[in-house]
C-alpha cells in the first residue's frame, strides 16, 4: 500500500518563500507529482520528479529524495493567488496516481 503525509495547513506572507514537505511510503514508485487546487476548482499540474534532485520552474521548485521517501514544493515570491491546496501525488507501481490529502496554504498580505 501507500501512505502520503503532508501538513494540513500552512500560512505565509506575500513576497516570502514557503516550503511544503511531503513524506511517503510505497511499495512501488514511478514518480511524484505536485498539483495545485484552488477552492472549488479542479487540480492543475505543477511539477513532476522521477529522479532525485531539484526541478525548477519559475517561482516553483520541487525536490525529491527517493531513498528518504521525501519531497518538497518550494514557492518563492509568494503572491495572494498562491493561496490554494497543494497535493503531493505518487505514481505507484501500476501507474495509478495516489493523492495526498493536500496542504492548504494561506498567503497573507
Partner 1 sequence: DAGVTQSPTHLIKTRGQQVTLRCSPKSGHDTVSWYQQALGQGPQFIFQYYEEEERQRGNFPDRFSGHQFPNYSSELNVNALLLGDSALYLCASSSPGQGTFGANVLTFGAGSRLTVL
Find the shortest distance in angstroms from Cβ 97 to partner 1: 6
Q: Does 33 bind partner 1 (CB under 8 A)?
A: yes
**Contact region with partner 1 (CB under 8 A), list: 18-26, 45-53, 58-66, 70-78:** 45-53
96 binds partner 1 (CB under 8 A): yes
Neighbouring residues of 78: CB distance < 8 A, sequence distance ≥ 6 = 12, 13, 14, 15, 16, 17, 18, 107
Q: Is the dihedral of CA 90, 92, 98, 100 positive or negative?
A: negative
Longest CA–CA span in the chain (Å) reads 43
Nearest to 62 by CA among 72, 75, 70: 72
Q: Does 87 bind partner 1 (CB under 8 A)?
A: yes
Binder to partner 1 among 42, 53, 67, 81 (CB under 8 A)? 42
Q: Does 69 bind partner 1 (CB under 8 A)?
A: no
* Residues at the site binding partner 1, with contacts judged by CB under 8 A: 4, 30-31, 33, 41-45, 48, 50, 87, 89, 91, 94-102
Amino acid at each position: 500500500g501507500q501512505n502520503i503525509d503532508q501538513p494540513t495547513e500552512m500560512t505565509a506572507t506575500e513576497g516570502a518563500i514557503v516550503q511544503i514537505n511531503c513524506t511517503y511510503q510505497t511499495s512501488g514508485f514511478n514518480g511524484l507529482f505536485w498539483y495545485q487546487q484552488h477552492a472549488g476548482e479542479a487540480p492543475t499540474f505543477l511539477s513532476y520528479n522521477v529522479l532525485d534532485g531539484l526541478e525548477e520552474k519559475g517561482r516553483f521548485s520541487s525536490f525529491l529524495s527517493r531513498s528518504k521517501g521525501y519531497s518538497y514544493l518550494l514557492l518563492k515570491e509568494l503572491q495572494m493567488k498562491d493561496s490554494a491546496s497543494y497535493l503531493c501525488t505518487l505514481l505507484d507501481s501500476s501507474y495509478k496516481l495516489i493523492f495526498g490529502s493536500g496542504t492548504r496554504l494561506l498567503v497573507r498580505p
